[in-house]
Amino acid sequence: MTDRRTRVERLPGRITPVRAGEGRSIVLFLLFASLLLVCATVALAADGLPLFADDAVLPLVFELDFGDVCRNPESGECTPAAGVIRVTDAGGRLRELDVSYRTRGRWRRETGHCALPALFLEFDDTQTAGTPFAGQHTLPFTTHCQYHRPEYQAWAILEYLAYRYYTLVTEASIRVRLARIEYRDTGSRRRYTRYGFFSEHFRDVGRRIGAEWLDVDKIDVRQTDPTELAALSVFQFMIGHLDWSAAELHNTTAFRRAEGPIVVVPFDFDYAGLVDTEYAVPPRGLGVHDVRQRRYRGFCREGIDWDALFTRFADLHEPVIDLLREQEGLRSKERSRAEHYLEAFFGTMDSEALRRRQIIEACRPLPD
């Protein structure tokens, strides 16, 4: 006969006695564990995590109708379309997340250049807990653009590496996560797999670095820290990027810490010499005819600690080349070409004469 203080809990294949009071303890323990999980998820989300906490390539299935992707600029604003992302959660279970997507990036959208343009993906917050997308709502996503030519895949990966390189320079950067996506076109039932990458939303960058995102069109660069803006300019020189402006916030955005200087953060590197897309052209008026030709576009300012700045970049030589050599998805010729290009920059870092001629003496006057 069972003691009245003991009830029987049936489990597969056995009967386990549970004494009075133990059940309440188990329930309280489970509730406490669940609360810890929720708190951890909220904390991770506040930092743009867990998506950007890991550098491992994220495997995904993205189910969408390619016919719903807006490619006609004359039709007005592109309206979001519905899709599904399948991803493995922290417990190893396959999860299905509803997403809506819309195109971004004016040039590639308006010219119809891309079979699948860069996108904004919007997630349902109630579905993402426990997945890599926990805490995310809107995410920029850079695609392979064209699926039938392998060089487009390489360009996406090299642009991803450019973002990774800037995170080595400063925490005031946009974090990225590479994904390997199996696309399933629900319209044609066609399937193929390509790389693409997610990047932090500007507001998430601001929260992470403790600064307010300035949603403005231009800034006074005199309100930035001279050495940190020079670091941004040397980085753009390193990757051979000419299509940017700190003052006009072209392919850059700005943040301000409380009672501190404005912080400029770069993005959109597909016109960089490191990436070397076939459609990239240098900006007019620079006298440059090839995007792989480096030109320093920083400003002439007092207070730049050049010795410390050049040491900072020289110390990146090994990690930059290691990231390139370890990066999956590149063919040997693409990897070799990128490594040769980067080595030329570090050759400049090793030469005091080249540093002075190509960077310090090549600075531009501050804008009026």
Structure letter (DSSP) for residue 224 = B
Q: Each residue of 179-192: b (16+ CB within 10 Å) or e?
A: bebebbbeeeeeee
The C-alpha atoms of residue 186 and residue 97 are separated, in whole angstroms, by 16
Residues 342 and 321 sit within 8 Å (Cβ to Cβ):
yes
CA 139 to chain centroid: 9
Average pLDDT (359-367) is 97
- CA-nearest of 314, 313, 275, 240 to 161 is 275
pLDDT of residue 10: 33
Average pLDDT (316-338) is 98
Residue 1 pLDDT class (50, 70, 90 cuts): very low
- CA-nearest of 364, 326, 26 to 164 is 326
pLDDT exceeds cutoff 90 at 325: yes
* Cis amide bond preceding 50, omega within 30: yes
Handedness of CA 305, 167, 212, 270 (dihedral sign): positive
Handedness of CA 186, 188, 193, 195 (dihedral sign): negative
Six token digits for residue 83: 């899709």
Residue 113 pLDDT class (50, 70, 90 cuts): confident
**pLDDT per residue as tens digits for the range 249-275:** 999 999 999 889 999 999 999 999 999
pLDDT exceeds cutoff 90 at 231: yes
Residues 6 or more apart whose Cβ sits within 8 Å of residue 237: 294, 295, 296, 297, 298, 345, 358, 359
**pLDDT per residue as tens digits for the range 78-94:** 678 999 999 999 999 99
DSSP for 285-344, written as a single string: TS----TTS-----B--TT--HHHHHHHHHTTHHHHHHHHHH-TT--HHHHHHHHHHHHH
What are the beta bridge partners of residue 60?
181
Angle ∠(277,278,284) on CA atoms, nearest 5: 90
Tell me the residue type at 196.
G
Tell me the residue type at 259.
E
The C-alpha atoms of residue 75 and residue 65 are separated, in whole angstroms, by 19
pTM: 0.85
The C-alpha atoms of residue 257 and residue 239 are separated, in whole angstroms, by 27
Q: Count the residues in the chain.
A: 368
The C-alpha atoms of residue 194 and residue 142 are separated, in whole angstroms, by 11
